Each structure stands twice: as structure tokens, then as C-alpha cells.
Structure 1
């Protein structure tokens, strides 16, 4: 990954920082979450820098250690009484505007594709339409939570569609990586997400986006 330009690393660092700032603002700068995120980022940074995730010929893939713990934590949060209390205190509007970070994420992925670090199917030129969520997020936020023009069913539909688009790119990314379960992009596999700092995309940014959608959906349904 030494061939990547410094400006690409700067763009991703900006994206990651913006994600953390918007998320922590949405959760009221919870000290517990700040501590957990800090420890998780340090752990995943050390593992990805040490080339831990670049060993791809084992089952289950080591990549699971990057993505499963945040998913388990989200599930626990939604199932426990204290977790539900925390969720019910969150502002869905602030969690909606957070999705603007999907614009620089998609630009990063496209730039990585140009440098042959991810396949084209992971970009908006391929089968990844996730950038539409980032583009429409300010509109949904403004008319849904500032002006209160959009009916809650519109907000619910937007969140569900964006959640499906997120699932689409996550599935594509996993099945395009050089794991034993690889199904796509054999000529140019997804290797960027096995390296630091891009491993923080599936390890930190994607779980935050997932959590934001699930919280909004829960509140809209209730």
C-alpha cells in the first residue's frame, strides 16, 4: 500500500475524524463511548499495522475480529434495559446528518479503486450506490427534523433503503476480499481494507453508520 498518495490518507483521516465527531455529538459525548471507541481504535490500529488481517488463508477469516465485536455490542445495546434507555435518549436527527460521511467514504473507495486497491464493484461506478445516502442525508435531516415536512413513513423508508444499500456494499466488500469465501473480483480483490488505516472503515465507520440507522428505525417504528 506504499504506492498510495498522502492526500488519500488525509482524506480518509478527515472522514474518520468527522464520523467520530458527528457520532459523539449525537450521543452527547458519552464518556463511556469515548473510552470504548478509543480503545477499539487503538486495538484495531495495532492489529492492522502489524499485518494481522493480511493473513487471509485461514478460516474463519481474521477479518471477523474486525467486524463482529461492534455488531455484538450493538445487539447487546438493543437487547438490554440500560442499552434501550441509552438509545431512547438519542436524537435521530443528529444521527441522520451523520450519514453525510458516506460521501467522502465513497470518494475514498473510488480513489482506492484507481490505485488498484479495491475492485470497481465496490465503487459508485460498480454496484455500490451508498453515496446516494450521503447526498440525500442533509435533505432528509432538514425536511424531516428541522421543518418536520416529511411523514415518519418517509423517514422510515429512507433509513431502510439506506440500510439495505449499506448491507449491499458490506457484502460485496467481504466477498471481494481474498478470503477462502471470495466470490467476486478475482482479478482485483479488495485488499485495502486489510491495511491500516483503511481497516477502520469496516471496524469503526460502518458499525457507527449501522447503529445510526437501527436507532432511527427503532424510534420511527415506536
Structure 2
């Protein structure tokens, strides 16, 4: 039985990142429409309504499937959990590389994009508490093999650095690559901890089934996709900044 710290910690963090996404989307959409000298109020209202609808549907889908126990049925081929999480991560990448991600990368300050990933610091603290309570497998916390707490900690420090004066682009690149590497590592560990693989042992305490329950289902279906989307957008922002610098150098060369 998870404590209220673990239960409400995961829930509140999922709500927080959902709010951050909606606020960022509204800000980026309004800025994009203003740059085109288009009427913003009606268009923004329509786009926000659609995003909130699809977000609420996705949130409800994860909760419903978990409540029905379908996410704990790993005998299905393929398991519903794999399909759900895979679709969420793929959708995050698609959003990041399409016009939505472009608007985020163009209009949302890089400092805000980086700071938004600092949610991973409290998340890892909650996950550590979960493993201490026997709710989550130990290998998924920083006492085991998950060191994503570094990504969250550096996101907070780097974000503040960017706000105060601007960190070198190379430092942001290093953090972004670190974060993507940590995400890939924890994804591998999570898959290796499923009942089919049971790489760390077949004892219940080593099996990654806790995310098949509400509210923990929103960790792989909301928090992880938000992290993936964030890294995708930061990558686009860094690439765009590099392209602008190269164009400026070429322009100065021919002036």
C-alpha cells in the first residue's frame, strides 16, 4: 500500500506537467498567430479546446484501462501497457517535430523549456520513497540504476543560469543529451523489469507492475511523454539557434 506522499506525489506532478504543457501551448500559439498578424482570440480558443479535449481523453484512457486491470495483463500479445506507453511516447515525439513543437521551440524561452524538466527532481524523490515502501522495484530508483535525478537537478540549475544571463549553448546541449540518455536508460530498465523479461529477478518486488495502477499509470503515460516532448523541443530550439548564428555569419561576411 503506497503512502499518501507517493500516491499524491505522482498525481500532483502529472497534473503539474499537464498544466505546464497547456500554458506553454497557449503562449506559443498566441505568439505564432500574432507574428502572422492573424486574429488570435478565436483561433487560440479553438486550438486550446482541442488540445484540452485530447489531453483529457488520453488522461482518462490511461486511468480507465488501469482501473479495469488491463494494464496488468501481460499475457496478452502485445500487452496493453506496451501499446499505451508506446503510443504516448511516439505521440510526444510527433508533437515535438511538427508545428506544435516548432512553435514551442520558437516562442517559449529556452530557460522555460529547460526549467520545465526540473519536475524530474521531485519525481525521483517520490519514486525513491515508492521503492522504500516496497511499491516500486528498487532498480527503478536512484538507489538502484535510475539516475534521472541528475537531469532534474541540472535542469533547475541550468534553467536559473539561463534566466540570469544565458548559459553557453554547448552546456545546454550537454544537459539535453544527458537527459535523453537517462530516459533511454530508465526505459530499458523498465522493460527489463516486466514479467516477460524479469531480468532483475522474478520476485514480485523486482517486477515493474506498479504503473498498472491508478494514479501511477500517469507516470509512463503523462510524465514520461512530457519529458520526451521537452527534449525534442529543446533540440529544435538549439538547432534553430545554431542555424540563425550561421546565417548571421554568412550575412556579415558578404556585407
Q: TM-score, normalised by structure 2?
A: 0.78
Deviation, structure 1 residue 42? 0.7
Give the aligned CA root-mean-square deviation in angstroms: 2.0
Aligned to 2:200: 184
Cα deviation digits, residues 137-159 of structure 1 (max 9, x gap): 121112124411x2111101111
Question: Relative to structure 2, which stretch is displaced further, 113-122 or 194-203?
Answer: 113-122
Aligned to 1:8: 6
The structure 2 residue matched to 1:161, chosen from 164, 171, 178, is 178
Aligned to 2:18: 20
Does 1:172 find its partner at 2:189?
yes
Aligned to 2:218: 200
Question: Relative to structure 2, which stretch is displaced further, 60-69 or 86-95?
Answer: 86-95
Question: Relative to structure 2, which stretch is displaced further, 47-56 or 130-139?
Answer: 130-139
Contact kept in structure 1, 2:67 and 2:213, CA below 8 Å: yes
Aligned to 1:131: 149
Contact kept in structure 2, 1:23 and 1:98, CA below 8 Å: no
Instruction: Specify the SS of the correspondent of 1:69.
Output: helix
Change (3 A) 1:176 1:90: farther
Aligned to 1:86: 103
Contact kept in structure 1, 2:93 and 2:232, CA below 8 Å: no
Q: TM-score, normalised by structure 1?
A: 0.88
- Equivalent residues, number: 217
The structure 2 residue matched to 1:108, chosen from 126, 141, 148, is 126
Aligned to 1:50: 68
**Whole-Å separation in 1 of the counterparts to 2:143 and 2:102:** 41
Contact kept in structure 2, 1:128 and 1:169, CA below 8 Å: yes
Cα deviation digits, residues 106-129 of structure 1 (max 9, x gap): 122112212222221111111111
**Whole-Å separation in 2 of the counterparts to 1:104 and 1:70:** 22
Contact kept in structure 2, 1:48 and 1:194, CA below 8 Å: yes
Aligned to 2:35: none
Question: Relative to structure 2, which stretch is displaced further, 90-99 or 193-202?
Answer: 90-99
Change (3 A) 1:216 1:104: same
Instruction: Specify the SS of the correspondent of 1:214.
Output: helix
Contact kept in structure 1, 2:142 and 2:149, CA below 8 Å: yes
Instruction: Specify the SS of the correspondent of 1:128.
Output: coil
Deviation, structure 1 residue 88? 4.0
Gaps of 5+ in 1: none
Cα deviation digits, residues 3-34 of structure 1 (max 9, x gap): 22233212222211222222222222661332
Greater percentage in helix? 2
Gaps of 5+ in 2: 28-46, 241-255
Deviation, structure 1 residue 48? 0.5
Q: Looking at CA atoms only, which structure, 1 or 2, has the larger radius of gyration?
A: 2
